[in-house]
Structure 1
Amino acid sequence: MGAVNLYVTEQYLLLKTVDTLQQKYGFRTLFISDARDEFLLEKYDRRINHVICIRRKTFDWSNQLKQDIDSYLRKFYQQPQLFRGKETRFSIVYVSNLKPVDSWEHLSKTMRLKGRKNATVTTYFVDEYEGLEELGKLTNTIDKNDNWKMEALPPISEQERQMVYLEQKIVAIHQHNQRKFEEIFQFGKTKWTFVLIIINLIVFFLMETQGSSTNSLHLIDWGAKYNYAISEGEIWRFLTSMFLHIGIFHLMMNMIALYFLGEITEKIYGSKRFLFIYFLAGFTGGIASYATNDAVAAGASGAIFGLFGALLFFGLHYKELFFQTMGRSLLIIIGINIVFGLAVPQIDNGAHIGGLIGGFIASQIIHLPKKTEGTKQVVAIIGLITLMSAMFLYGSQQTSASENPQTMAAIAQEYVESERYAELIDWSTDRIDQGIEHEFVYFYRAVAYLETDRLDAAEDDLFRSIEINEDFAEAHYNLSVISERENEIGMALEHVRKAIELQPANEQFKQYEKELSQKSTSG
């Protein structure tokens, strides 16, 4: 056989095999070389990922073949998206009428890949003679009930004619799939993602110039999610809290996540859909936080988790593309975040899960570009309104029943530290009028009265806080301070000694008791 005829036959075998894998077995081409002598194909079926690299190449020696196989394995390892499902089967198919002159058969054995217990690689050699049986072995690994054998080779002239047709057909299918991919992943342009990041950065900068973003009172003043205020009608906090962050680390982590998730989501859904999903998810996450977390909260996490939900919705409609691109990594990241949120009490997992669900449902409402599901979209609207209403009512009931003592104490302490005593008195009185009977409320109002020299009112509140919690050492200490100011040293000693009894390790109490004892002795 002449060199030209040899090339024609090999190229025909190559293209015919690729075409059969596409048409008969449903493979998708991932790569086509410029010379049309190398193809990479993939098919995911029944949790098994079949990856076939088919190439026209001749080797003189088996060590050259071994080096080429190793180079393919390195390429496989560099593409983790190829490893999916319960098993990945790599096949390297060489089309050549000339095999290595020395022994090479040992290289055709199926081998397990190092570090990948569920991945194997098998090498096949295909020629126009007995090598055609190799194609039957290959297709049998794809479908055990199938044993495809290529029909007898047509004359050289017919091979040449079909070569042109097959090449055009394969390339056309590949280009069509690429265009479809680009239409899906390049539908929109990234612009609002950057705008949102800039707004968040500006708000954080302004917050820090006027106070600390970790200060609960400062956060509330700027519009953080504060359940008591929301129950009083400040619904707008669900929106404003999305642009506030508690510390630089919180801000940077969320902005990095927004950059990567926002970019891909805005490209898939387009800018209008992206904004709809982002804000509706953020609002849903805020309401979920209102229902499940009574602490002061802020951050874009709910909206960002909504983008996770939007990408999961995309995966529901484009499963193959989803798992070929981001699917596995995305699911792992979501899982890690949810587990981490459940394990760490400070993380507002309600906002995260609420945002995730909200983003998914928002995506169903507005749907993907060029797709509609009328009935499902209406059901999604009704479902989301029902869910948000139920969570809001539940959160309002919880807030009216009680307010988080730790939150109240933190807010009151920040009033004290900023010397906003009049506001602290109003804040405490408002809660008492609302029926909130907690020692912290009376204690901190007493502190404000004490600092404004209203000793009788301070004393009444401190006694009330002790009635609620008789082991409240700080209240006894402050009563001691008031008694000293009223020159009742004996009563002052009685209260400070009670405080020491409750907190024996408190050096401040001990030092004050020592000073009072000296004053009592000298008096």
Structure 2
Amino acid sequence: MAQRSLPCPHCGALIDARENSCPWCGTRRPGIWARLTGRGTRGDNGDWQINAIIAANVVYFLLSLLISGHGSLDGNPLNFLSPDQRSLMLLGATGSVPVFAYGRFWTLISASYLHGGLLHIFFNMMALRQIGPWVSAEFGPNRMFAIYTLSGVVGYIASCLAGVSVTIGASAAVCGLIGALFYFGKARGGSYGAAVSREVSGWLISLVLFGLVMPGINNWGHGGGVVGGVVLARLLGFRAQKRDTSGHRIIALACAVLTVFALSWGCLLAYTVLFL
């Protein structure tokens, strides 16, 4: 009787149930572990990191509404229930003006947690909820968070260099996750890699078309985020290539510290200007 294949509970690669260790990540007795625990996917799918990112975005969005004098009335549905320009600038909107004119380099991180309206944050968080677990499964939670944070920075650097004066939103970081999946599909190869590449290519085409037809879309941020995600995925590797290392954990921790600093600094500046 043939032994069925089982996914390794750590890296997710399909292996023979009789294997004593996963040939991809080295996990001991992966078939036995998967049967005992009932785990058919990765041991750590990074849900708490993704939920933390979404929570931070929602809290920062609510804060921007709280300190706004009024919302936007320009008729754009994406700006429904939107914070005003002053609150966004205080909390850390980025772009060539904040970065080059005022030296607010920390906004390259904080801008990924600011949104211009209810639909803006809704669509970005829905995309993150769909794509984030997939990236976390293939790269691990630490690398996922590092790619999310740093590709957002790369996207906003591209925006600044292109002369985009002010910009906000998590879409550059989300595009980084898409870029990472695109690299994964090409590097992984095989039928699974080809399937990933096809699906992600469809997302990339949709991004381009959406950017062409919708006004006010930061295409430089999107493109920079995708390129950043591809480069970071190549540098960091994915689980089928190498297991998580202390270096990956240190990078993720550094990204978390920088994110907390940027958001806290934005809150402090807003409090200082508005209440002191």
Normalising by the residue count of structure 1, what TM-score does the alignment of the two structures yield? 0.36
Q: State the partner residue of 1:186.
A: 42
- Larger RCO, structures 1/2 (Cα 8 Å, 6+ apart): 2
Q: How far apart in 2 are the matches of 1:367 and 1:180?
A: 15
Q: Aligned AA for 2:66?
A: T
Are 1:279 and 2:149 counterparts?
A: yes
1:25-36 pair list within 5 angstroms:
none
Q: State the partner residue of 2:167.
A: 297
Q: How far apart in 2 are the matches of 1:247 and 1:292?
A: 24
Partners of 2:138 and 2:240 within 8 A in 1: no
Q: How far apart in 2 are the matches of 1:197 and 1:217?
A: 23
Q: State the partner residue of 2:92.
A: 223
2:184 is aligned, of 314, 318, 324, to 314
Q: State the partner residue of 2:108.
A: 238
Deviation digits for residues 385-419 of structure 1, max 9, x if unmatched? xxxxxxxxxxxxxxxxxxxxxxxxxxxxxxxxxxx
1:321-360 pair list within 5 angstroms:
321-324=192-195, 326-360=196-230
Q: State the partner residue of 1:199.
A: 56
- Displacement of 1:274: 0.8
Partners of 1:284 and 1:355 within 8 A in 2: yes
Partners of 2:44 and 2:140 within 8 A in 1: yes
Partners of 2:114 and 2:168 within 8 A in 1: yes
Deviation digits for residues 64-95 of structure 1, max 9, x if unmatched? xxxxxxxxxxxxxxxxxxxxxxxxxxxxxxxx
Q: How far apart in 1 are the matches of 2:14 and 2:93?
A: 41
- Displacement of 1:204: 0.7
RMSD over aligned Cα, in angstroms?
2.4
Partners of 2:42 and 2:137 within 8 A in 1: yes
Q: State the partner residue of 2:133.
A: 263
Using the aligned pairs only, state the percent identity. Answer: 26
Partners of 2:97 and 2:166 within 8 A in 1: no
Q: Secondary structure at the match of 2:14?
A: helix
Q: How far apart in 1 are the matches of 2:221 and 2:203?
A: 16
- Displacement of 1:229: 2.3
Deviation digits for residues 203-243 of structure 1, max 9, x if unmatched? 11111111144422221111101422211311111011010
Are 1:249 and 2:119 counterparts?
A: yes
- Displacement of 1:176: 5.5
Count of paired positions: 202
Q: How far apart in 1 are the matches of 2:13 and 2:150?
A: 29
Partners of 1:187 and 1:270 within 8 A in 2: no
Q: Aligned AA for 2:164?
A: D
Deviation digits for residues 116-162 of structure 1, max 9, x if unmatched? xxxxxxxxxxxxxxxxxxxxxxxxxxxxxxxxxxxxxxxxxxxxxxx
Runs of 4+ in 1 over 4 A off after TM superposition: 176-179, 182-185
Partners of 1:188 and 1:268 within 8 A in 2: no
Q: How far apart in 2 are the matches of 1:221 and 1:181?
A: 49
Q: How far apart in 2 are the matches of 1:181 and 1:254?
A: 32
Q: State the partner residue of 2:255.
A: none
Q: Aligned AA for 1:221?
A: L
- Displacement of 1:328: 2.6
Structure 2, unaligned runs of 5 or more:
16-21, 25-40, 72-81, 243-272
> Closer, same or farther in 2 for the Cα pair 1:247/1:293, shift >3 Å?
farther
Structure with bigger gyration radius = 1
Q: Aligned AA for 1:292?
A: A
Partners of 2:151 and 2:173 within 8 A in 1: yes
Partners of 2:186 and 2:194 within 8 A in 1: no
Q: How far apart in 1 are the matches of 2:14 and 2:177?
A: 20
> Closer, same or farther in 2 for the Cα pair 1:255/1:347, shift >3 Å?
same
- Displacement of 1:177: 7.2
Q: State the partner residue of 1:144.
A: none
